[in-house]
Amino acid sequence: MSETPPAPAHEARSLPGKPVADAVLADVARRVAKLREGGVQPSLATILVGDDDASAGYIRIKQRQAAELGFVSPHEHLPAGATQDDLHRVIDRLNADPAVHALLIQYPPPAHIDYDTALMTVDPDKDVDGMHPLNLGRLSVGLPGPRPCTPAGIEALLAHYEIPVAGHEVVILGRGATIGRPLAMLLSQKRPTANAAVTVVHTGVPDWQRYTRRADILVAAAGVPGIIQPEHVRPGATVIGAGVRYEGRKLLPDVAEEVARVAGALTPRVGGVGPTTVAMLFRNAVEAAEKATR
């Protein structure tokens, strides 16, 4: 008599970002084609200060993607010794150029360059990252404008996989300006893909685990490798890994691999939120071009 095989270990449903990004980028490509048919050439300008290999690589990837989607992508490369004023002069010129619809300053710049000060000089309507203070203000009151790319990508990912958000509890571990705070504003707005009860907690709260364990949807955005362990997750919850840190070229996510044994759905260690972030950047770019033609 054969023995009954052991029950398979629980494994969370995977939520890869590529199918979400592909759908967004297909829509962007259609919109770009429509603009070009009407005589408008959408443009995404990029600025790189210095010679960091990783930053230069990111710029090349974005320019290649821009070309595939039908954008033109003028590029400005300033030397490592460029001053803050040098950078501001380039930004001012691109702001004033009606042929440039969207503008990206590659982050991080060299240490002597104040990125936030440079961002303040970008025309908010050309701010492809959606991080200008005016655009964060627009988000806070529900006005149209470019949305921060990672939060918008997370909302799109949840919608794509039909994860219930409206009326459910979302807990965000991390209060940063790029993910935690804007995501809280985005997911609490009254919209079919949002309308959640959102709690933002951070590592300065001694019992932050008390909050994460009750979440229907947990977004890890602390930038602390492995901070989210199985015991910090409610069984069956959806877990979105948005925080990472790099050790050399090695990516260290906030969410431990073992969380897959507890969560109901989980973004993969690689290829989760990242592809959706890039897709939302191009969505912001095409929306900027459309706005400029109205």
181 and 254 co-located in one domain:
yes
pLDDT for res 48: 97
d(Cα 212, Cα 167) in Å, to the nearest integer?
Answer: 17
User: Is the distance from CB of 204 to CB of 180 less than 8 angstroms?
Assistant: no
The neighbouring-strand residues paired with 228 are 255
Reply yes or no on whether the pLDDT at 33 is more than 90: yes
pLDDT tens for 151-210 read 999 999 999 999 999 999 999 999 999 999 999 999 999 999 999 999 999 999 999 999
> Would you list which residues are annotated within the binding site for NADP(+)?
174-176, 244
Q: Could you tell me if residue 106 is inside a domain?
A: yes
DSSP state of 107: S
43 and 161 co-located in one domain:
no
Which of 123, 125, 129, 216 is catalytic? The answer is: 129
Catalytic (active site) residue 86 = no
Catalytic (active site) residue 41 = no
DSSP state of 42: -
Which of 62, 65, 126, 127 is catalytic? The answer is: 62
DSSP line for 202-218: -TTSTTHHHHHTT-SEE
44 and 100 co-located in one domain:
yes
**Count of domains observed in the chain:** 2
d(Cα 136, Cα 124) in Å, to the nearest integer?
Answer: 10
Q: How far apart are the first and last CA of the chain?
A: 76
Compute how many other C-beta atoms are within 10 angstroms of the C-beta atom of residue 191: 15
pLDDT tens for 252-289 read 899 999 999 999 999 998 899 999 999 999 999 999 99
Catalytic (active site) residue 106 = yes
| Helix-then-strand count for the chain, H and E | 9, 11
> Would you list which residues are annotated within the binding site?
174-176, 244
d(Cα 167, Cα 144) in Å, to the nearest integer?
Answer: 23
Q: What is the domain-level CATH number for residue 195?
A: 3.40.50.720
pLDDT tens for 83-122 read 999 999 999 999 999 999 999 999 999 999 999 999 999 9
Which of 65, 106, 126, 254 is catalytic? The answer is: 106
